[in-house]
C-alpha cells in the first residue's frame, strides 16, 4: 500500500471515530445545559463510570445472556431446518400452495 492509500485509509477510519466523539461531547453538553435529570438521561461520563465500576457484574451477566442467545439460536436452527424441509417436501403443502 502506498503512502496516499495509507493516508486515505487513516482518514476514512477517523471519520466514524470523530463522529462518535462529537456525539458524546454533544450529549454531555446537552445534559448539562438543559439540566436533564440523571435518571432520565445520564451523561456519558456517568455511564462510562458505572460500566467501569460494575465491569465484573456486567461481564458475568453478559456471558449468561450470550449463552442463552446461542442456545436459543441452536434450538431454533435444529427445529426450524427440519420443519422447513418437511414443509417444502410435503405433498400436502405442495398441493395447498398450488392453488
What pLDDT, in 10s, does the model give residues 9-21? 888 889 999 999 9
* Residue 35 is assigned to a structural domain of this protein: yes
* Residue 48 is assigned to a structural domain of this protein: no
- Rounded Cα distance, 49 and 61, in Å: 18
Same domain membership, residue 63 and residue 33: no
Into how many domains does the chain fold? 2
* Residue 30 is assigned to a structural domain of this protein: yes
* Residue 46 is assigned to a structural domain of this protein: no
Same domain membership, residue 58 and residue 95: yes
DSSP state of 43: -
Tell me the residue range of the domain where 64 lies: 54-99
* Residue 49 is assigned to a structural domain of this protein: no
Confidence of residue 7 (pLDDT cuts 50, 70, 90): confident
pTM of the model: 0.65
Same domain membership, residue 34 and residue 66: no
Amino acid at each position: 500500500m502506498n503512502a496516499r492509500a495509507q493516508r486515505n485509509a487513516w482518514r476514512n477510519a477517523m471519520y466514524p471515530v470523530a463522529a462518535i466523539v462529537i456525539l458524546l461531547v454533544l450529549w454531555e453538553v446537552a445534559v448539562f445545559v438543559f439540566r436533564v435529570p440523571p435518571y432520565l438521561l445520564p451523561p456519558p461520563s456517568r455511564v462510562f463510570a458505572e460500566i467501569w465500576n460494575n465491569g465484573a457484574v456486567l461481564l458475568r451477566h453478559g456471558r449468561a445472556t450470550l449463552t442463552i442467545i446461542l442456545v436459543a439460536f441452536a434450538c431454533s436452527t435444529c427445529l426450524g431446518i427440519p420443519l422447513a424441509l418437511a414443509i417444502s417436501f410435503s405433498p400436502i403443502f405442495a398441493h395447498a400452495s398450488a392453488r
